[in-house]
Copies of this chain bind each other. A is one copy, B any other.
């Protein structure tokens, strides 16, 4: 990462902690590497992203239904998926300093602290290290079974596919979508929330006839790119990267990453994969249950193929913050820190500010009325310019000021975050005006 990039990340991490977007888990105990907590603004941003994804991928479609499966599944799930055996990195240990490194990242390793005078570690042969977090379930030591925290949310979609398809009365082509936590014991968590040990995914597994897999892969690629543009990503910071044949995972027939230009380089925020029938074939084999479907017209009995779209929620939130964040020079020579978040995603949609403390009562009443429909922040402390800046920094699209005229003319001043333009609007008409503005597509 460039020095400038590192400085930018450091500033963002600081802003996120100070304003309550994201900060280290268990901070008072010194934190725990790879775990993050979302504060009052972070949880709203994350929820808005998840809700909008659910809206576009599930609610608005006739051919997709939702699922919320348990984080801990039957361990056979991970034997069938291959994770129990193969999911991990090749690792080497230093016999001197006892540190462990990824075999493919050795050039990044610092000199061995236990062998001063030489910069070299005393390394073992590479061996595989499983990234799944393990636990034990059950009451007695004898009867306890080893189980894993899921490293991805999609496998339960495969194991539940028959039950869900029948209950939802769906036919091929159709999809099952899920949002939820997953866990990986990353060797080296890094880049803020980009690579952490506990993270959230929004995954869709779309089941199709083998002859239509290619077409649906393209459809979902276009659909998902439209989504990323809809949530406001700048074209210059978003790209797709198809995987070369030799890059493909064993279960994959085609893959494409949606990448964002982070300060630490281009990195994946979503993966779109044509998984073939790998998953259903394996789970059929391991469970002895037939997961194939029969075409009612042609009587063809076949394993559907799967097109997957898998978005990292934490990564996308991080990308959204970086994409939106500007240190903007103003005409008066000052600089403002502003998050140009899409109004649909902004943690606070409207701030209500009385111009003076003696106007607190009517302004407070207005805020309370708006709370029924919008995410509202009420702030009466400090001069109005400072209060605008505080809202700019957290990405609040609209500030509504109640002033001395409001008492007589029933109007309020609405300030736009991006243009900083101000407009007088009747307080009565405000909810309707806001609904329209917040739902506008960019």
The residues of A with any CB-CB pair to B shorter than 8 Å are: 17-20, 23, 25-44, 46-47, 54, 59-62, 65-74, 76-77, 91, 93, 98-100, 129, 133-140, 142-143, 147, 149, 156, 159-160, 162-164, 167-169, 176, 181, 183, 185, 187-188, 197-198, 283, 286-287, 289, 291, 367-368, 371-372, 375, 378-379, 381
Contacts and interface: CB of A to CB of B under 8 A. Distances in A.
B137 A135 contact: no
A41 B280 CA distance: 23
A307 to B, nearest CB: 19
Contacts of A138: 33, 185
A363 B124 CA distance: 67
Contact of A38 (B20, B60, B67): B67
Given A62-B367, A62-B378, 8 more contacts: A25-B69, A25-B74, A28-B287, A32-B73, A40-B66, A40-B67, A129-B139, A137-B197
A18 B59 contact: no
Contacts of A25: 69-70, 72-74, 156
Given A43-B68, A163-B23, A31 B74 contact: yes
Interface centre among A54, A65, A129, A368 (most CB of B within 10 A): A65
B164 A26 contact: no
Nearest to A394: B167
Contact of A40 (B28, B36, B140, B168): B168
Contacts of A164: 20, 39-40
A143 B34 CA distance: 14
Given A25-B73, A70-B25, A371 B59 contact: yes
Contacts of A99: 140, 143
Contact of A100 (B93, B139, B198): B139
Contacts of A54: 47
Given A140-B100, A181-B71, A29 B159 contact: yes
A381 B170 CA distance: 12
Contacts of A287: 28-29
The 8 A-B pairs at the shortest CB distance, nearest first, are namely: A20-B167, A26-B74, A40-B65, A100-B140, A28-B287, A29-B74, A38-B68, A37-B69
A197 B60 contact: no
A25 B68 CA distance: 10
Nearest to A176: B40
Given A133-B135, A156-B25, A185-B137, A163 B72 contact: no
A99 B35 CA distance: 37
B39 A160 contact: yes
B187 A60 contact: no
A289 B28 contact: yes
A93 B140 contact: yes
A26 B185 contact: no
Given A73-B25, A134-B135, A168 B37 contact: no
Given A139-B129, A198-B71, A167 B32 contact: no
A164 B34 CA distance: 20
Contacts of A28: 159, 162, 283, 287, 289, 291
A243 B66 CA distance: 39
Given A43-B68, A68-B38, A156-B37, A142 B198 contact: no
